[in-house]
A and B are shown apart, each in its own frame.
Chain A
Amino acid sequence: MKHYELAVKFYKTQGPRHDRALWTIRQKRDKAIKEVDEWEELRKKASKIKDEVINYLQDYVNEFIRNAKNQGIEVYFAKDADEHNRIVLNLLKEINAKKVVKSKSMLTEECGLNEYLEKKGIEVIDTDLGERIVQLRKEKPSHIVLPAIHTTKEEVAEILGETNTDPTYLTHKMRKLLRNEFLSADAGVSGANFLVADKGWAVVCTNEGNADLGAVLPKLHIISVGIEKIVPNMRDLGIFLRMLARNATGQKITTYTSIFGHKKNGKRVIVLVDNGRFEKLNTEFKETLKCIRCSACLTTCPVFRRSGGHAYRYVIPGPIGSLLAPLVDKEEYSDLPFACTLCNSCEMVCPVKIPFSKQLVKMREYVTKENFAFKLAEKSMHSPLLFKLFSTILRLTPTPLLKKAIKEWSKYKILPKIPPKRFIS
């Protein structure tokens, strides 16, 4: 099913609640960013830093690897999802791991790590509250920062076998269940929000401290991370840390912001993943590599708020997802750049100033096949005479495209009346 069908289904059951919940977060975000006088300056700086990183990506990757290795972190470079999964599996096999606690990582979702490890007989426990909820519901996250925003407290109670639907009660119940998993896990896997090139450190931001437990308790901690997450130095990191949580949820900073270097009580491994990122540098969509996955473009998108994230069917939904998914599968995701009104709200909230509207229009061109009717129409626009003829024909005979347009309008709206006389006749 395509976005427009899934959107209708979702809206009719969850839409208004989902829209209100996310709009509330958008308002919290607005309030939080307005507390920072230099917010618009920070966006310019962050954008420049990310431009620099993607323009010299290979150099920064080399610098990061060198500095991470120097302090005793094992570093691997995986060219694609398969290689990433194999590397992680081998690391787990080495210590004969049976159970892994995972904290949120969109990259491991991108690589399908959970399914891969489970097929190989390794149990994977997601430990972020929202991620655990969707894991127990056998679903995928519908939002990259609020993975279970599409579910209700009643549904959460149901999967925990509870009748009490109080969110605090349910959170405590989940916490208790997860504590046992942390204590019995053989390894922890997490993502990283940032990699500091000149230090070789990985920065992980969470609100639940689950990544920290997974990083510290088991003997082995694996960090799976995309190469575009690099920032040059600690000074630059400061800019992003000031922006990330404010822009995502309206918090001043995430509850836990942990900087990981060498692991004293065991082994820390970083798996750097390319999976098409270097290749993207040579396309018109290279600016999408600036994304820090703050999720503000999802939360603000008026279509996303009403359609829910699952309508996008890709691991990263919303405006940024619509710029990523078609490059993974052009046919399957050709509808996504059109699940958008070009309202430009995404571009306004983007902390690294990705030019969303331009990119979405380019993506529309990328997924669109040549169409005879459009070609003919475009030709006719080049001559005032043909243009008049064309619009007169349009007025008189509905073509299949026009019929479809009229059908969609008439379902929910009254068609406007066409006046007999034009201004320029």
Chain B
Amino acid sequence: MKIALHIPCYINELNPEIAKKTLLILRHFNLDIKVPKEQTCCGQPFINSGHPTTLPNQFNELFKSFDYIVSPSSSCVSTIRAQNLEVSKKTFELVEFLHDILKVKNIAKNYPKKIALHNSCHSLRHLFEGSPSELNIPYFNKIKEVLGCEVAEASRDECCGFGGVFSIKEGFISYVMGRNKLDDLLSKNPDVITGVDFSCLMHLESIAKKDKDNIEIKHISEILWECLDETL
């Protein structure tokens, strides 16, 4: 099984630790992982701000020879899935890959901290890693299954207000939505807030810092690696 790691450009720039942890998690399962150095961007920032781009085609060319492409970001994966390319069906979000392909569960069974999970929109309503409350389908949540410990979810499974270009164009409403999401998650008394999208988490953390909320916010890969790392 030939696997390529896609590193979202914003993670490479703003939180390279997530990329490292993702690689370590996949290596833990004895997989042959390549990190193509020529990768740049999936095209999402251009597409979502109304500028046509051929970046998804470039992504396709770079990654199509692999069996699977794993990316620690559901929004980048959604962008690629939405394009109908050769790689579209082979590109997976990290937790989705662990759940659907490797069929691993309960990694964080003995995690000592209480987790509150932010189900990001791309994870929930684009990739269906969980059941959106809008649909009449049985409840499921792949992220909770992979974690396998007690995980609280927000009362409302609505957007946190990041939305990429939205957070710049409508800073105030973006903030209000993020504030509401934080309050919702904090009402579950968690020790740590997590999720599969660093973009949402970065937005929530920026608000938590400004408003002086005392809460730890971590990407899911950091929690998973904490549980898998045998050197700890």
B7 CB contact (under 8 Å) in A395, A415, A423? A423
Is the CB of B192 closer than 8 A to any CB of chain A? no
**Chain B 166-225 residues near chain A, CB threshold 8 A:** 166-178, 180, 202-203, 205-207, 209-210
Known contacts A338-B165, A413-B210; A365/B82 CB under 8 A: no
Q: Which residue of A lies closest to B37 (CB)?
A: A424
Q: Which of A8, A40, A307, A343 has the largest number of chain B CB atoms within 10 A?
A: A343
Judge if A422 is at the interface, Cβ distance under 8 Å.
yes
Contact across chains for B40 and A348 when beta carbons are under 8 A apart: no
If A8-B173, A358-B82 touch, whether A415 touches B206 (CB-CB below 8 Å) is yes
Interface size on B, residues (CB 8 A): 68
Q: Encode A303-344 as 1/0 by CB contact (under 8 A) with B.
A: 100110000000000000000000000000001011111111
- B132, A348: Cβ atoms closer than 8 Å: yes
Dominant secondary structure at the B interface: helix
Say how far A258's CB is from chain B's closest CB, in angstroms.
28
Size class of A's contact patch?
35 or more
- Judge whether B51 and A11 touch: CB under 8 Å: no
Verify if A56 is at the interface (C-beta below 8 Å from B): no
Across the interface, do B52 and A365 meet the contact criterion of CB distance under 8 Å? Answer: yes
A173 interfacial by beta-carbon distance below 8 Å: no
A4-B169, A306-B177, A378-B51 are contacts. A414–B209 as well, Cβ < 8 Å? yes
Residues of B at the A interface (CB closer than 8 Å) are 7, 9, 11-17, 19-20, 35, 37-41, 43, 46-55, 58, 82, 121, 125-126, 132-137, 156, 158-159, 161-178, 180, 202-203, 205-207, 209-210
Q: A411-B172, A419-B15 are in contact. List 18 more A-B contacts (CB 8 A).
A: A7-B172, A11-B173, A34-B136, A40-B137, A306-B173, A341-B121, A345-B125, A345-B158, A348-B132, A348-B134, A349-B134, A384-B39, A387-B9, A412-B207, A416-B206, A418-B13, A419-B16, A423-B7
Residues in chain A within 8 A of chain B (CB atoms): 3-4, 7-8, 11, 15, 19, 23, 30, 33-34, 36-37, 39-40, 300, 302-303, 306-307, 335, 337-345, 347-349, 357-358, 361, 364-368, 371, 374-375, 377-378, 381-384, 387, 391, 395, 404-405, 408-409, 411-416, 418-419, 421-424
Listed by A's residue number, 24 A-B pairs whose Cβ atoms lie within 8 Å are: A4-B171, A11-B172, A36-B136, A40-B136, A303-B170, A303-B173, A340-B163, A341-B159, A341-B162, A341-B166, A343-B158, A344-B125, A345-B121, A345-B158, A361-B48, A364-B50, A365-B51, A378-B51, A412-B210, A413-B207, A414-B209, A415-B206, A419-B15, A423-B20
